[in-house]
Amino acid sequence: MSARPAGERIPMSVPLQRPAAPEPPAASPSSAPPARAGAFWRLTLRRLAAQPTTRVAAALLAMIVIGCLVIPWLSPYDYYTPHFDLLSRGPMLAGAHLFGTDPLGRDLLVRVMWGCRISLAVGVAASLVSVLIGVAWGAIAGYVGGWLDSTMMRAVDVLYSVPFVPFVIVLTVLFGRSLWLLFVAIGAVSWLDIARIVRGQTLSLKQREFIEAARVAGVRGVDMISRHIVPNLLGIVAVYATLTIPAVILFEALLSFLGLGVQSPMASLGSLVADGASDMQAHPHLLIVPAALLSLIIYCFNYLGDGLRDALDPRSR
């Protein structure tokens, strides 16, 4: 063994090596690049278009919407002016009354198209409001948990116990009949189901690895809900919204049938069905035309909702 040179210092310890930097957490589905999200929705649309019943339902619904917008504009008749020389006429080509006239001589085709406008507007608007309220309510309750979750869901249970028709009657007595009252009355009860669905899905999602990774990265509160929870619920929300529209349209038809809907001379499909039912034996076309169109709209939205649910089903991926 060779001797150390004089004056050399003996090292007291071995220098420690710097630990390797930890690997970054895996990206969550909600933070995936936009291209991946776009590819997923393109694949969903292709699956949706591959279903024959969905294509038929979408085509019929598009024709109904176009007819609602175009026919009243092209027709020489409006929905409110009576013609006492054409009372309760059946379908006829003369005078361009293809669906006949009502007991006041108003063109039934124009009134049905206007009624379809009202029913679709109520269905889409009330469904949009119910989805926004239900998603926010359920996501907050499911993510925060604890006493806030219990309080919010008990409020949902209380609203579930309120009878729908007496509730609308009270609102009608207090504020009168109007289109905005329909939005409020239907929106007040239609968000309860999606709030429960979103809460259950949020309870499951917040235990996933990408949520834990986002929490470690410092994401909290509203940012966590808006950036990671809600984007992963869009599939369920889209299916529910599609299936909610026909239910809301039926709600509106029920209210109009009971005389709690829009005021005359404006009409919805429900009020037209009620008017036709009162004169069904003498003039059946007054009932058949709006009832058939209402049934067709419900059919289209139900099949679109079923097709979207099948396209987003994880078991079919």
Inform me whether the pLDDT recorded for 134 exceeds 50. Answer: yes
Q: Higher pLDDT residue, 316 or 91?
A: 91
Whether residue 14 lies inside any domain: the answer is no
Give the pTM: 0.77
User: Rounded distance, CA 209 to CA 216, Å?
Assistant: 11
End-to-end CA distance of the chain: 71
Tell me what pLDDT residue 40 has: 64
- What is the band of 136 on the pLDDT scale with cuts at 50, 70, 90? very high
The confidence score (pLDDT) of residue 36 equals: 55
- pLDDT averaged over the chain? 79
The CATH number of whichever domain residue 302 belongs to comes to 1.10.3720.10
Interacting residues of 159 by C-beta distance below 8 A, sequence separation 6+? 188, 189, 192
Q: Is the pLDDT of residue 255 over 90?
A: no
Query: Of residues 198 and 255, which shows the higher confidence score?
Result: 198
Residue 148 covered by a domain: yes
Q: What mean pLDDT comes out for the span 265-280?
A: 85
pLDDT confidence bin for 16, thresholds 50/70/90: very low
Is residue 309 included in any domain, yes or no?
yes
**Res 13: pLDDT:** 44
Average pLDDT, integer, range 121-140: 89
Q: List, in order, residues 6 or more apart from 77 with CB less than 8 Å away.
A: 96, 106, 107, 110
Check residue 295 and give its pLDDT. 92
Q: What per-residue confidence (pLDDT) applies to 20?
A: 43
At 49, is the pLDDT very low, low, confident or very high (cuts 50, 70, 90)? confident
Whether the predicted pLDDT of 114 surpasses 70: yes
Q: Is the pLDDT of residue 72 over 70?
A: yes
- As a whole number of angstroms, the distance between CA 40 and CA 46 comes to 10
pLDDT value for 25: 36
* Whether the predicted pLDDT of 140 surpasses 50: yes
**Interatomic CA distance for residues 278 and 131, integer angstroms:** 36
Using 50, 70 and 90 to split pLDDT, how confident is the model at 94? low
Q: What is the mean pLDDT of residues 201-217?
A: 84
State the pLDDT at residue 297.
93
Q: Is residue 71 assigned to a domain? A: yes
pLDDT score recorded for residue 23: 39
| % of the chain residues with pLDDT over 70 | 85
| Residue 70 pLDDT class (50, 70, 90 cuts) | very high
Per the structure, the complete domain to which residue 269 belongs is given by 50-77+103-316
Q: Is residue 66, in this structure, part of any structural domain at all? A: yes
Q: How far apart are CA 269 and CA 262, in angstroms?
A: 10
Is residue 253 situated within a structural domain?
yes
- pLDDT for 65 equals 93
> What average pLDDT does the segment 209-234 reach?
82
Share of the chain above pLDDT 90, in %: 17
Q: What is the rounded distance in angstroms from the CA atom of residue 225 to the CA atom of residue 161? A: 29
Look at residue 92 and tell me if it is in a domain: no
Judge contact between 182 and 261, C-beta under 8 A: yes
Q: In this predicted structure, what is the pLDDT of residue 195? A: 92
In DSSP notation, the chain reads -PPPPTTPPPPSSPPPPPPPPPPPPPPPGGGS-HHHHHHHHHHHHHHHHT-HHHHHHHHHHHHHHHHHHHHHHHSS--SS---TTSTT--S-SGGG-TT-B-TT--BHHHHHHHHHHHHHHHHHHHHHHHHHHHHHHHHHHHHH-HHHHHHHHHHHHHHHTS-HHHHHHHHHHHH-S-HHHHHHHHHHHHTHHHHHHHHHHHHHHTTSHHHHHHHHTT--HHHHIIIIIGGGGHHHHHHHHHHHHHHHHHHHHHHHHTT-SPPTTS--HHHHHHHHHHTTTT-THHHHHHHHHHHHHHHHHHHHHHHHHHHT-GGG-
> Is 181 a member of any domain?
yes
Integer CA distances (angstroms), 268 to 23, 127, 180, 271, in order: 60, 17, 14, 5
Residue type, 75: S
Q: How many folded domains does the chain comprise?
A: 1
